């Protein structure tokens, strides 16, 4: 049976019928007990990243990210409200995008109030690996702008509450992804809501998301 696919969670719990990518940050220390078989993503989260630690972080990331069960690099990204100043965050992100490109693995991105900088960085680095913005909760125009720049979007628990995001999802005709992130929401519940928004069955949505994962080489 086609599983429910959760592209980004911070929880380690396993759930029947669900394939989830657990996201680990090198700044957490938990990477020392990094799972060897189940799908994970690993990167340097912008909330906890420090530029002076970048060389050490990257030394580890360079080794760990090669593991076969590491499906994505990240979450990494830019956050105007937390973490280092923006130019330093951009340097930290660039290093991870560069590694993702070397390893041919997609990037899972965190972005808060720094979309212009993120677009500029992508234009500058021109990565060919997929760049997925997780937890997208902005308006339709922003979604269109990002997809026009070649970004993919992933939607989380906000779809359960926001009509704005529902209307973004309704219109979206590019591959997209679903996630729970750090919420306690059930990925099955998110699928149910998105199926309702897209006016398709949950089974049809499972096929769509499955195909999207395949397209990006995540399965
Ligand atoms: Zn996250």
User: pLDDT tens, 86-143?
Assistant: 999 999 999 999 999 999 999 999 999 999 999 999 999 999 999 999 999 999 999 9
Give the Å distance between the CA of 204 and the centre of ligand 1: 26
Give the Å distance between the CA of 68 and the centre of ligand 1: 21
Domain boundaries, the chain: 4-158
Q: Which residue has the higher pLDDT, 33 or 90?
A: 90
Can you give the C-alpha Rg of the chain in angstroms? Answer: 16
Give the Å distance between the CA of 179 and the centre of ligand 1: 9
Give the Å distance between the CA of 23 and the centre of ligand 1: 7
Those residues with Cβ within 8 angstroms of residue 172's Cβ, 6 or more apart along the chain or in another chain: 143, 147, 153
How confident is residue 33, by pLDDT bands cut at 50, 70 and 90? confident
- Predicted TM-score of the model (pTM): 0.96
Which residues are placed with Cβ below 5 angstroms of ligand 1, an ion?
A: 181
Q: Which of 24-38, 44-58, 180-194 has the lowest mean pLDDT?
A: 24-38
Q: Is the pLDDT reported for residue 158 higher than 80?
A: yes
Chain segment 10-22, per-residue pLDDT in tens: 999 889 999 999 9
Q: Is the pLDDT reported for residue 24 higher than 80?
A: yes
How confident is residue 31, by pLDDT bands cut at 50, 70 and 90? low
Using CB atoms within 10 Å of the CB of residue 84, give its burial: 0 to 12 exposed, 13 to 18 middle, 19+ buried.
buried
Give the Å distance between the CA of 110 and the centre of ligand 1: 7
Give the Å distance between the CA of 182 and the centre of ligand 1: 6
At residue 209, the 3 state secondary structure works out as helix
Q: Is the pLDDT reported for residue 30 higher than 70?
A: no
Give the Å distance between the CA of 9 and the centre of ligand 1: 6
Give the Å distance between the CA of 42 and the centre of ligand 1: 11
What's the CATH number of domain 4-158, 3.20.20.140, 3.40.50.620, 1.10.300.10, 3.30.420.40? 3.20.20.140
Using CB atoms within 10 Å of the CB of residue 123, give its burial: 0 to 12 exposed, 13 to 18 middle, 19+ buried.
exposed
Measure the CA–CA gap between 197 and 167, rounded to whole angstroms: 8
Give the Å distance between the CA of 109 and the centre of ligand 1: 9
């Amino acid at each position: 049976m086609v599983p429910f696919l959760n592209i980004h969670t911070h929880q380690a719990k396993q759930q029947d019928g669900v394939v989830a990518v657990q996201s680990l940050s090198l700044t957490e220390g938990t990477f020392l007990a990094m799972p060897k078989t189940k799908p994970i993503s690993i990167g340097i989260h912008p909330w906890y990243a420090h530029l002076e630690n970048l060389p050490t972080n990257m030394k580890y990331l360079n080794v760990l990210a090669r593991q076969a069960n590491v499906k994505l690099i990240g979450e990494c990204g830019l956050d105007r409200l937390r973490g280092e100043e923006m130019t330093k965050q951009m340097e930290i992100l660039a290093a991870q995008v560069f590694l993702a490109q070397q390893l041919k693995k997609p990037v899972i991105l965190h972005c808060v109030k720094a979309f212009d900088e993120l677009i500029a960085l992508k234009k500058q680095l021109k990565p060919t690996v997929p760049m997925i913005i997780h937890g997208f909760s902005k308006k339709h125009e922003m979604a269109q702008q990002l997809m026009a720049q070649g970004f993919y979007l992933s939607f989380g628990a906000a779809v359960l509450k926001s009509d704005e995001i529902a209307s973004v999802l309704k219109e979206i005709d590019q591959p997209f992804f679903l996630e729970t992130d750090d919420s306690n929401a059930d990925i099955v519940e998110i699928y149910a809501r998105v199926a309702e928004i897209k006016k398709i069955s949950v089974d049809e949505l499972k096929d769509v998301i499955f195909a999207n994962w395949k397209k990006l080489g995540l399965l």
